[in-house]
Structure 1
Amino acid sequence: MQRDAYASIVRYRNLHKTPLRILQMNGAVFHENVSSSFFRGYHARRIALMTHTAGQDPRLPRLSKDIIVTNYETLRRIHQPHFMYRLLPLHCADAETFAAMQSICASPGSPFTLEDRVDAQSLNFRMSKMCAGRDKVCDFFKEYTSPEELNAPTATRELPVTSVMFQGLLVHRGVASLTTPEGKSKGTAESPSSLSSTLASGSNGGTPAAPAAAAVAHSGPHDPHKAESCTADASADAVKHVTRPTVAFVTTHNTLNEKVLLNRHLMTSFFESPVCIPFYAGAPIALSVRFMQNRMHFMAVKSICAAKMDTVEGVRLRAHLLNMASKYNFYVYEKVGEGEYAYATAAGAAGVGQ
């Protein structure tokens, strides 16, 4: 990014700049005078600027967690002279999706890390009119197509879902670790509480654990991350913890309503159906994640609903939408701050956005 610094000096001599220490993607640390134009360059190059507390003096004040810096105004608001930052490849649609994926990875019990990000562009396509296999696609959506459209030819029929679009993708390859009674693990650093029984159950394509099982491990009604441990030998002093290969599909939305949930459900059902396989003939990554046994679907929303959360109607609508998402096996994360998302619960309505 040195070229951008020199260009900004020549073109904008009076432009406000902020000196930063930035860990580059090649491992080098540069001191750069960052301006607002840098963020346009980050966006064009699909790069994210993120705080890097691990590179700071631990005795000095720091943020509670690393966050994505999406614009120059946010940088000026949070920056302190001793802060350090790092550049990361986006591997997703935008910075908002990156922030949602970061919150998913940081959730208690999540098997995912930011290194599990995979570019989801190979999964996305549009079902244009008169495309190959249009008859089978129309038959799949027949139940959700209006009677007027059913009378139209399949080549030009309007479908309830016209594309498969995922903004983010997390692929966890599976880990096995050995934990001793003293809490020291061999192989990985994951503890028993960081493993998910949702992923261990995985007998029907990533369907979440039952609410009764969820209540044992977590206070949330349908939290995706649960505790799991399995004893390899009853007489042994060690416990083996296993996480299976798991994939998470992430979509982002401005708000949550019944139409958004239904469209997301139809898109997911079509993506997992045999009708969709021919569309991924030349995409090996897409085919591999489709056939993973444990599949989880996340929805990141900026707000749960348009109604006011301090009213009875708003609370009921929020609970209804979250129950509907649970019925479809979707995990909803809502935006609670700049670059920060949290798992949405009906009880958490009053605390969001305040």
Structure 2
Amino acid sequence: MYNSIDVPLFITIEDNALLKVKRILNRSNIYTNNPMIVTDKGVSSTFAEIVRKKLKIKKEMMIFIDQNTDEEVKRVEHSARKFKVDFIIGVGGGKALDISKLTSYRYGSYFISIPTLPSHDGIASPVASINVSGTRMSLNASMPVGIIVDIEVIKKAPLRFIYSGIMDLLSNISAIKDWKLSYEKGFEVRYNGFSRAIAYSSAENILNYDDSNVYSEDFLTVLLNGLVLSGIAMEIAGSSRPASGAEHNFSHAYDYLFPDNNLLHGEKVGIGHLLISYFRDKGEYKKLIECYSRYGIMKSFRKMKLSHEVLFNTFEYARTIRKERYSILNELDISEKNINKAVSDVLKLF
């Protein structure tokens, strides 16, 4: 018995890919008739303009977005219907790609992903993170038919965004353990070994990478391949389980308690992963510390000036939400004293 899944027809990760975008599409037998570009108003718009010119797309077919809200999705969908587009090309970071893939899903067009930041696995996942009436929600969205990553563009990404991508990918290690736990306890119908292998090996490649230069072409290629494969693992599993567990609960809790926070998704997940592994597996906790330290992530946490109270309250709240998504948080029998100690020990690392 086989599952029907959608996977990208092509994945291109190479130097100066934006300058070769038309050739890349043609060699993959992708021919667009009336494509629309979705991007933000920041640096990504410069890269989107390159794509627009190379594909000879009219200026009015480039849509600029502000926030990753449901209202923005509706606005972009209205434009897609108005222009009768056949492809939506997302160029940018998380917001542009999330809105592009959700619009594509609702409207029914093809979606091409052109990420300009390596900050999370949303570059290839069938899930969009959207604010709906003030609440951040994970919604079903289109898988890209193709992914184009220009290494020269990614090299210009601020260090913080690379760290975010590293931590989001490493969190697969925690998520897979929660997925297996949930399956064994009878809360999950499926536990796909193939999906698990893809998600875990992608994270393990970063965990065991022996060079601390995160801007090297080799490292960025490994990271980007991992983020893409993590997204594909979710499509194979039919859910975000291979890449989202208790550590993502922590991220959701943080967003709920502090909706105006400036932390990146991967940063919140990375802190949550540290706290979860502290209680679940001291071996994993130690490896995570070594990995974060090797890449310089611990120093970046120090700059965030995270408080004990914020992390304590977030962890406590994470234990109360998404109960149906069974994880180690459902089983932890710990006191406030235990949590206080864990938070103190983690903060000492920074």
| TM-score w.r.t. length of structure 1 | 0.29
Structure having the higher strand fraction is: 1
Q: Quick check: which has more Rg, 1 or 2?
A: 1
| TM-score w.r.t. length of structure 2 | 0.30
Structure having the higher helix fraction is: 2
